[in-house]
Structure 1
Amino acid sequence: MTTRSLIGMQHGDGSITAIYCQCDGYPSYNGKVLRDHYTDTTQVEALMALGEIDVLGQTPAAFMDDAEKRRDIDKNGYPPSKTAAASTYGKNDAMQAAVYVDRDAFVEAARGMWAEYVYLFVNDAWSVRDLYDENTGWAPIDDSISKD
């Protein structure tokens, strides 16, 4: 079972660069990894450069293939040492980072991808929004991790 998410970073003009993540999108996993390992703009930009990912890891470096990913997860558990970029598995149609004009467009795109959560890096801090709970808006990542 997958928990899809969209991970983005907002720029000064309000636009958002974002990537799709197929697995483990809930705050107690993706939220925690983002908070603990993607703490500055350089790291987040490197993550965006990977494009579509299968599993978020501790560093924005792609596995060479699925066998390397499995070995790393067997050795390190979750989170793996690297990020499993879908494009490294020979998928010609892997989605590259996309740019959205604002938060509304970002959230709407996530809904179109059936994402359950969206993460946003703004001013060196992460926030999250649960797309299946219409009564909630954006919240600091720490608040959502404790509820998950």
Structure 2
Amino acid sequence: MATRSRIGIKRTDGSLELIYCHSDGYFAHNGRMLHEHWQSQAKVEGMIARGDMSVLGEVVGKKHDFNWVMNFPETAEGHIDWDGVRADPRHKMCLFYMRDRGDKELYSQRFSNLEAAAEIFEEYLYLWDETRDAWIGCQTPWQCNPASLDWYLLSDLAEIKFYDEDIHKVPTTTYHSAASQIIDATPTVMDKMVEGLHQF
């Protein structure tokens, strides 16, 4: 079962532009991927311009077979050759519905503010914040109140090595005691991670 997310840009006027991502939306994959490989607004704009995607990669990449993994040569035992898949250049590319599968009209969506976008929230939401010039992210439970979301700077989560933990963890006060044992995790960073951002 996929872990769905929305990825987009929060403009300086508070408006949002979002696309859908079907797979691996949790912090330890999409959050980490965005933090490590999408650190310029020009790159983010290029990704968003291509519309909804199945899989977030390290780069936009080029058009390729949407089902390339399933069509990859099998091992002698009849299984997908996962080592070969990971070594293939396509493994680092985003997999877009329009570009790679030929779907139509799956462009980014624009909203005047966070509340207006709430109807399309998935399980996680990641925004390149133009004001902060940085990624922020949160978990978006079903029918959540947009005003009560706990936002985190993805750089803060990286600093405390949060991405190295269980893949489906979400920052909580329960996590605080375990994470405080991590080397170089300062109380200031930990407090920010647990409390989230005070201002969306």
TM range (shorter): 0.7 to 0.9
Q: CA deviation at 1:129?
A: 1.1
The corresponding residue for 2:153 is 140
Give the distance between the partners of 2:40 and 2:117, measured in 1 at CA. Answer: 21
Tell me the distance in 1 between the aligned counterparts of 2:49 and 2:128. Answer: 15
CA contact (8 A) 1:8 1:18 kept: yes
Q: Evaluate the alpha carbon distance shift between residue 103 and residue 76 of structure 1 in structure 2; reply closer, same or farther with a 3 A threshold.
A: farther
CA distance in 1: counterparts of 2:12 and 2:115, whole angstroms: 16
Query: Runs in 1 of length 4+ with deviation above 3 angstroms?
Result: 67-73, 133-136
SS in structure 2 opposite 1:64? coil
Where do 5+ consecutive residues of structure 2 fail to align? 73-81, 170-200
> Which position in structure 2 is the counterpart of 1:131?
140
TM-score (normalised: structure 2): 0.62
Contact 1:63 1:69 in 2 (8 A): no
Segments of 5+ residues of structure 1 without an aligned counterpart are none
Query: How is 1:45-60 mapped onto 2 (pairs within 5 angstroms)?
Result: 45-60=45-60
Larger radius of gyration: 2
Take 1:18 and 1:69, find their aligned partners in 2: how far apart are those partners?
A: 26
1:108-133 CA distances to partner (integer Å, 9 max, x unpaired)? 321xxxx1000011132111111129
Letter in 2 for 1:13: D
- 1:83-131 Cα deviation digits (max 9, x unpaired): 0001120223x52101111122233321xxxx10000111321111111
Between the two proteins, what is the percent identity of the paired residues?
A: 27
Q: Say yes or no: does 1:9 pair with 2:16.
A: no
CA RMSD of aligned residues (A): 2.7
> In structure 2, what residue type is equivalent to 1:60?
V
**Is residue 118 of structure 1 aligned with residue 120 of structure 2?**
no
Q: Aligned partners of 1:67, 1:137: CA distance in 2, in Å?
A: 36
Counterparts in 2 of 1:90 and 1:109: CA distance versus 1, 3 Å: same
Instruction: Name the stretch that deviates more: 132-141 or 55-64.
Output: 132-141
Answer 1 or 2: which has greater strand percent: 1
